[in-house]
Structure 1
Amino acid sequence: MDLEFARKFAGEWQEDWNSHDMDRILGHYHEDVIFSSPMVERFSGDPSGTVHGKDELRTYWSAGLSRIPDLHFEVMDVRAGVDSLVIDYRNQIGGRVYEVLTFRDGLVIAGFGAYGTVLAG
């Protein structure tokens, strides 16, 4: 993966999240995606912090959007790896978050969110 692809993806990712359009958001994700975040437990009560598959991801993120109607992301920086990228962004309450996404066949197959002291609004 090159940095140009990573930057383009991060720009689209930001626009999609800020639109709150779940179909646009999920359009980048593989059906078999696995995603982990401390927010999973907060929104679903699942202590594993992990969702499996696009349907579970839709349920998790839809719950987040309904609980945080002013959700807004601003990409601060992007890094590219071999088959992964890292998006450093600021959320609606100013918290810095890192999203690490791994790709297969052009879609995100795995990812996780990493938070500092401020989780969400």
Structure 2
Amino acid sequence: MDYTAFAEDWEAAWNAHDLDRILAHYSADVVFRSQKAMRLTGRGEIHGRAALRDYWAKALAQQPDLSFIVVDVLRGHGMVVSLYRNQRDVLAAETLRFGPDGLVVEASACHKN
């Protein structure tokens, strides 16, 4: 898998605020973890692409200027860590584990602030 190409498409999808394109990277039964999810959902772990769509739709509605710049891509066995900065210059890391079909089955987001 070309993780750099994946990160570039992931970045472009987010910057376009295109939920269908963003979610095309994730399996139907994905598990997503993020401290920031607590603010909108009351929980830090989200199960399934449909629930992830709901969460990200709310997040994008609250941040119409949201944008990301991937600053580095760290490769692992069946996984990648994308380091990126948002529109406020906050550093974040997204750890993505892939299934055999190349879709993300587990994702964890960590933020500097």
TM-score tier by shorter-chain length is over 0.9
Q: AA paired with 1:35? A: F
- Greater per-residue strand proportion: 2
Structure 2 counterpart SS, 1:69: coil
Structure 2 residue runs of 5 or longer lacking an equivalent are: none
Say if 2:24 is the partner of 1:27: yes
Shift of 1:45: 2.0
Shift of 1:54: 0.3
Cα distance in 2 between the residues matched to 1:39 and 1:61? 11
Summarize the alignment of residues 1-121 of structure 1 with structure 2, pairs less than 5 Å apart.
5-46=2-43, 49-104=44-99, 105-116=101-112, 118=113
Cα deviation code 1:53-79 (max 9, x no counterpart) = 000000111111001110000000001
Cα distance in 2 between the residues matched to 1:21 and 1:10? 15
Structure 1 residue runs of 5 or longer lacking an equivalent are: none
Identity of aligned residues (%): 43
* TM score, norm. by length of structure 1: 0.90
* TM score, norm. by length of structure 2: 0.96
Cα distance in 2 between the residues matched to 1:115 and 1:43? 16
